[in-house]
Amino acid sequence: MQYSMVKLFDTTLRDGSQSENISFSLEDKLHIAKKLDEFGIHYIEGGWPGSNPKDVLFFKKAKDEKFNQAKIVAFGSTKHAKNKVEEDPNILALLEAETPAVSVFGKTWVFHVEKALRVTKQQNLDMICESVAFLKENGKEVIFDAEHFFDGYKDDPDYALECLKVAESAGADVLVLCDTNGGTLTNEVADIVQTVRKNVTAPLGIHAHNDSGLAVANSLAAVQNGSVHVQGTINGYGERSGNANLCSVIPNLQLKAGYSCIPPENMAKITALSHYVSEIANLVHPNNAPFVGKSAFAHKGGIHVSAVMRDSASYEHIRPETVGNKRRVLVSDLSGKSNIVFKAEELGVDLESDKEKIPEIVRQLKQLEHEGYEFEAAEGSLELLIKKLKNEYKNYFNLRGFRILIEKNEEDEIRSEATVRMTVNDRMEHTASEGVGPVNALDNALRKSLTPFYPEIDDMHLSDYKVRVINANAATSAKVRVLIESSDEKKTWNTVGVSENIIEASWQALTDSISYYLMKNRNGNI
């Protein structure tokens, strides 16, 4: 059963940009706005034109873009108490942005009215009324953000409601109740929204912050009690602990609660949208994000995997494909036979004809994980391991020895050189190469030995290198785990090495990376 439409208001470009470590460029904002429009967002808040030149330029550029359905929104405050509304710089900046809709915030908490604005309660009501009325007279759709509404209501409910009524009488199209400090409990949100619904007739909205970890729950509660407009950001970006995460709000409303938010066919795009915005923001996407995270439908325990293979509903609340995600089965020291069989199928490795080898593969895997290996993030090394235990792996080269030289001279210049001796196709190769560090030098020497035999190695490169100390309490003699990500034009793969010696761990991961590439490339899989 479908209920009424809930309008989505995205403020990633404004509230989200206030998140620590986020700084969107003008082009970033335009790209994200286009993606939000394609996804089905109704309102896109582009910024505060009265606060900085970048936002002014964004609105100028946005006018030249074609948006299929989304309305671009300019954000600002009510007029200053000392200014005439028609001369107020902030109000005029909203008009100059030339957006079809504006979002204007006004104080509804007496504490803020008297302490922050330093005006009387009546002056604040006049500021709300005059600002909303003037913007309506100039043809704008006005979304009134009742700032600090829930705190204001708990402090002085009559005055908080009066602020809403004044905005409504001035023509506000939507009254948005803001939990600006993010400290309101979900039951309080539900009760207050119900009460407000009885006192005003204009549509209600919700703007929740996540300081108590309740922004998504509070947004859902507000909708279920009468709000028809929800504000939030992609991935929950925002100041302090962030805003309501639309990547959780939207699927919960539409898939669980039965509300209509976006075209049904667009729901499968939400994971891609989430990852796209995190890439633009240059932030690591959280693996454990509900619905859209890499681990949202990942299974590790053997009993879980066995059940999921029979019926995915046993340990999944929805089908991952519904939100554009996918099921993942992890392999670790918790793994059972089910994990290995599932993972082998995923990697394209046939275990059906070698069932008797599965127990040994599981045993070896658990032993290596106990020693510090981690195959969840190193599927290249995992596939090599399975192939070796199935006697289906060909050695493309064999190490005879390597040596690393690191020299620092009196000018503080550091020189790294690696010498490698290995047999390739029954031929001894002895090469040396320099690099910016010992691992780079080793990589260069290895490639120098192998490229005459396997020229395709020139098409692959190391794209990421991570070192993790496993047993930190062992200090400088601790084991380290090296994870290497390698890429060519078509594919990316990860390999792992573990040792008390970082060079040895790096060598394991490097050689696994090249061996995996040669195996897949020469079998026509890359």
Tens of pLDDT, residue by residue over 33-65, are 999 999 999 999 999 997 788 899 999 999 999
Domains of the chain: 7-262 (3.20.20.70), 298-389 (no CATH), 398-522 (3.30.160.270)
Q: Of 141-145, 274-278, 329-333, where does mean pLDDT reach its minimum?
A: 329-333
The 10 Å CB-count burial string (b at 16+, else e) for 263-287 is eeebbebbbebbbbbbebbeeebbe
- Residue 331 is predicted with a pLDDT of 56
- Residue 54 is predicted with a pLDDT of 87
Q: For all residues of the chain together, what is the average pLDDT?
A: 89
Average pLDDT rounded to a whole number, residues 172-192: 98
Longest dimension (CA), the chain: 92
Query: How far apart (Å, rounded) are the C-alpha atoms in residues 152 and 154?
Result: 5
Query: How far apart (Å, rounded) are the C-alpha atoms in residues 215 and 49?
Result: 27
Amino acid at 283: L
CB 304 within 8 A of CB 315: yes
CB 20 within 8 A of CB 240: no
Provide the pLDDT confidence category of residue 7 given band limits of 50, 70 and 90. very high
CB 82 within 8 A of CB 135: no
Query: How far apart (Å, rounded) are the C-alpha atoms in residues 427 and 424?
Result: 5
Residue 87 confidence (pLDDT) above 80: yes
| Alpha-carbon separation of residue 44 from 14, 330, 468 (angstroms) | 9, 38, 41
User: β-strand 204-208 against 229-232: which pairing, if any?
Assistant: parallel
Q: Of 1-5, 53-57, 353-357, where does mean pLDDT reach its minimum?
A: 1-5
pTM for the full predicted model? 0.69
Query: How far apart (Å, rounded) are the C-alpha atoms in residues 231 and 241?
Result: 16
Provide the pLDDT confidence category of residue 338 given band limits of 50, 70 and 90. low
DSSP bridge pairs for 415? 407
Tens of pLDDT, residue by residue over 222-255, are 999 999 999 999 999 999 999 999 999 999 999 9
Provide the pLDDT confidence category of residue 333 given band limits of 50, 70 and 90. very low
Concatenate the DSSP letters of all residues of 482-511 into one string.
Answer: EEEEEE-SS-EEEEEEEESSHHHHHHHHHH
Burial of 26 from C-beta contacts in 10 A (0-12 / 13-18 / 19+): middle
- Using a pLDDT cut of 70, give the percent of the chain over it: 89
- Residue 522 is predicted with a pLDDT of 78
Residue of 440 and 409 predicted with greater confidence? 440
